[in-house]
Amino acid sequence: MNGSTKRGRIAALILLCSVLSAAADVPVPRISGDEVLALAAELSGPLYEGRGIGTEGGRRAAGLLEGMLRKAGYRVQFQEFPERPGFNRGEAGLDVLLPGGARQTFVYRKDFRETARGGWTGGTVEGPLRLLEARGQEFPGGSVLLIPASLYDPAALDSYAARGAKGVILELPEGSPAQRSGYTGAAPGALVEPKQGMIVLAVSSDAYRRLADAAAGKARVRMSSPVRFEDARGRNIVAAWNGDGGDFRPTLAFIAHYDHMGTDADGSRFPGALDNASGTALAVRLAEAIALGSTRADFALVLTDGEEVNLGGAWALARDPPFPLRGVSVVNLDMVGSRADMELSVFHNGDPASRQLADRIAEVVREAGFTAVLRSPVYNLDHGHLPRAGARAVSVCEFDTSFYHTKEDLPGILSASELSVLGGALLRFALEELESR
């Protein structure tokens, strides 16, 4: 579907919803894209400081969301879990010292960025720059290694340190230095073990080429990483709608992660409007609408924390479920409502039950006018851990990489009309599922 056709279909559906709502004498459960967008804008604002796990901004966001869900009639509890994220606390720098005293300075978030993967704690090192041209290549102790994307292997970082490397500079295989990555690479449910003695930075392909030229000229490098690993407490928000008043056993749940990348050392924030204030806001508005419908069925909403570090909140949910997960249909909303004309991906692990749910969700969003593509097996979103607890689980996502994990992920890149239509489609699906129980 081209952009104009999609927008026309969306406008017609919004008009129909408005007419039906105005004609009713009682409140009708509906989704307003403007209300979703307003909540997403609030969550991505300065008060919440990028919603980093374990931060004051993250706790403020949790408090806001808890209050909204209680007001809508939900019973709300927190599920806490330990995590060890890499915070940006120190200096970030990359300078090439050329023979004869000349210096080339590289710009943070333009030419290079930090990385938390592998658990290498930040600091400052200096050493001769060596271009790695083969995986088994020897190098003198004390070197700073420059590694092309074709040779990048996260599992090899420890071996470089064991062989005496002071630092590693990786060419980014994808993405840009403007992005921040919080993924530590720890095993599911595990805390990363911080390592010292070597630091790691990642550079753009253009910066890599300049560094490769400098390495041929026997340059030295002085480099600093801001990453510091600290223990934190993640906090999932678990909201229960007990429709029948008995034991709480939902058959349907929506989830969305409300955490994001926090701030840089200078206090500038990563707003995270699309990732994932959008999914959080839509999930909360869906929960409000379901409560307005006073369904007699049980329904759950879980807003997870720590997704950006290691899917920690979803792991905690699967490991110690606050309600029975076996047989529950779980729909995860992660990056939705992008203003860009993008397809919707429906991700799942590939297990038969999740594939069946994915087919149903794809049908629902296609009927609303979206292009939907099923992708599996995909494990690295919050749905990924839940089939181990017996749930069937999918993620709905518009993976718009243009602003992903950058400070430009602002509310202006979201579309209220798309949020209206997607929200309306998911609300109809939810009410039909709940009414059939």
Contacts of 426 (CB under 8 A, 6+ apart): 31, 254, 282, 286, 331, 364, 365, 396
**Residue 344 and residue 271 share a domain:** yes
The answer to whether residues 168 and 216 belong to one domain is yes
Q: Same domain, yes or no, for 146 and 31?
A: no
Query: What's the pLDDT score for residue 105?
Result: 97
Q: Are residues 197 and 264 in the same domain?
A: no
- Cβ neighbour number for residue 401 with a 10 Å cutoff: 14
- Residue 5 has a pLDDT of 47
**Same domain? 219 vs 261:** no
Model-level pTM? Answer: 0.92
* Token pair in block for residue 380: 């690295």
Residues 145 and 257 in one domain: no
Question: How many domains does the structure of the chain reveal?
Answer: 2
- What CATH number is given to the structural domain containing 81? 3.40.630.10
Which regions in the chain score pLDDT beneath 70?
1-27
Co-location of 339 and 404 in the same domain: yes
Please tell me whether residues 315 and 367 are part of one structural domain.
yes
- Say yes or no: 184 and 73 in one domain: no
Same domain, 304 and 430: yes
Are 241 and 368 part of one and the same domain?
yes
**Domain boundary at 183, 206, 229, which?**
229
Per-residue pLDDT, 195: 96
| Burial per residue of 373-385, b for 16 or more beta-carbon CB atoms within 10 angstroms, e otherwise | eeeeebeebbbbb
- CATH number, position 197: 3.50.30.30
Expressed as residue numbers, the domain containing 225 is 86-229
CA distances 289 to 28, 111, 286, 428, Å, are 8, 45, 5, 10
Residues 55 and 43 in one domain: yes
Q: What is the pLDDT of residue 89?
A: 95
Report the DSSP beta bridge partners of residue 265.
Answer: none
Last residue of a domain, one of 167, 194, 229: 229
DSSP 107: P
Tell me: the pLDDT tens digits for 25-70? 556 789 999 999 999 999 999 999 999 999 999 999 999 999 999 9
Looking at 204, 229, 254, which one is the last position of a domain?
229
